[in-house]
Amino acid sequence: MRFDRTPDQEFFRETTVRFLEEQAPVATLRALRDDPVGAPPDYWRRGAELGWTSLLVGDEHGGGSISGDGLADLVLVAHEFGAHAAPGPLIAANVALHALAAAGADHAATIAAGVAGDALCVWAHGEPAPDDRLGTVTGTVTPDGDDVVVDGTKRPVEAGAEADAFVVTGVTDGGVTQVLVPADAPGVTVTPLTTVDLTRRAAAVTFAGVRLPRSAVVGPLGGAAAAVRRQEQLAAILCAAETTGAMQRSFDLTVEWAFDRYSFGRPLASYQALKHRFADMKVWLEASHAASDAAAAAWSAGAPDADARASAAKAYTGEFGAELAHDCVQMHGGIGVTFEHDLHLYLRRITWDRVVYGTPADHRQRLAALLIGEAA
């Protein structure tokens, strides 16, 4: 999280923090463990009122940012989502809203409902193995007269069972197409999955001959590759920011523990073997902040290095987020692996964000391709 937050951004962030502390304290998160939606009633709509869904959407669609840089504002929310292991499909919903808004005025009603939090539209992009590598899309969008037909499976789809609609990526004659698919369209099958996170829900969504009018296409038919790439960057950056928030909370809890816990008559914080590991964790933590914020700034600016910065942030936070979280567990000893302790709430979120929208290994492959100079 950047140091140079404006007073408006800080007010916005604090409002979100207060809301999360009231609506989703750790006791509530535990209670939501088996809840099918994974959030308190009316939670998402009230979050939308705070601005969680409007930041990447222009004024013309009822959106708006706090600072003029919508992603800079949204990463503050993502950070707090990580720091509070908060419920809600923040990433999948915002990427879908961005995709719709960036494509023009064709889907105004869906955008408006999404921004208001009255309906939920999420991005359905990743596919099951062996087609689960970042950037791989094998689902199809086939033109047929005035219609398009959508086929394929997306998995995992965040909030797939709660969503009212999906922005689905598919291929059309070698090009990439995105389509807005209502969840109740014939041929759509949603199978809820169990996730590593207490409150983040996911589903496998199958599209079998789903026929929609051509007006359902988001952006150009067969010409959405660049838009999808930008959405991949966006999802990676939001995961990185959320992971950084969860790392910060895990680290803070563990530093406090190291001062309070005594063994052999001295605090854990006095042992050099542990102090040096805290130093390493502090490096990973500050580097994660820096990498996430730099990636967000590059994305907002449309900078040429946005692709590399987004993948660096995702790969770095995915690798070192998990390292830090597990090290925090280790520093706690046995209590750290219990359900009773809060640490696992953040470890879960870090773990989830590590595997979706490209694993660290996927993003390292992308970075190598970028450095080699391939049009990956």
Question: Which residues make up the interface to another protein (CB under 8 A)?
Answer: 3-4, 255, 258-259, 266-267, 269-270, 272, 275-276, 278-280, 282-283, 286-287, 289-291, 293-294, 308-309, 311-312, 315-316, 361, 363-373
Residue type, 187: G
The Cα-based distances of 158 to 58, 191, 194 in angstroms read 24, 12, 11
Q: How far is the CB of 333 from another protein (least distance, A)?
A: 18
- When the beta carbons of 44 and 278 are compared against another protein, the nearer one is 278
Quick one: the chain helix, strand, coil %, rounded to 5? 55, 15, 30
CA quadruple 93, 136, 36, 314: dihedral sign: negative
Q: CB 296 → another protein: shortest distance, Å? A: 11
> How near is the Cβ of 17 to another protein at its closest, in Å?
18
Residue 213 or 333: which CB sits closer to another protein? 333
Nearest distance in Å: CB 98, another protein: 23
Is the CB of residue 318 less than 8 Å from the CB of residue 359? yes
Cβ nearer to another protein, comparing 123 with 316: 316
Q: Least distance (Å) from another protein to the CB of residue 79?
A: 14
User: Is the Cβ of residue 41 or residue 265 nearer to another protein in the bound state?
Assistant: 265
Cα separation, 180 vs 167, in Å, equals 5
Question: What is the rounded CA–CA span in Å between residue 291 and residue 237?
Answer: 9
Residue 124 or 285 with smaller CB distance to another protein: 285
Nearer to another protein, 90 or 296 (CB): 296
Q: Which is nearer to another protein, 149 or 322 (CB)?
A: 322
Report the DSSP pairing between strands 188-193 and 175-182.
unpaired
DSSP 8-class letter at 223: B
Backbone CA torsion sign across 167, 64, 80, 113? negative
Q: What are phi and psi of 264, to 5 degrees?
A: 55, 35
* Cβ distance to another protein smaller for residue 295 or 356: 295
Shortest spacing between CB 133 and another protein, in angstroms: 11
- When the beta carbons of 11 and 262 are compared against another protein, the nearer one is 262
* Shortest Å, Cβ 2 to another protein: 8
Please report how close the Cβ of residue 310 comes to another protein at its closest, in angstroms: 10
Q: At CB < 8 A and 24+ separation, what contacts does 14-18 make?
A: 15/50, 16/47, 16/50, 16/52, 16/76, 16/77, 16/80, 17/80, 17/84
Least Å from the CB of residue 206 to another protein = 30
On whether the CB atoms of residues 53 and 117 are closer than 8 A, the answer is yes
Whole-angstrom CA distances from 55 to 165, 166, 298, 364, 370 are: 20, 19, 17, 29, 29
Q: b vs e for 343-363, b when ≥16 Cβ sit within 10 Å of the residue's Cβ?
A: bbbbbbbbbbbbbbbbbbebb
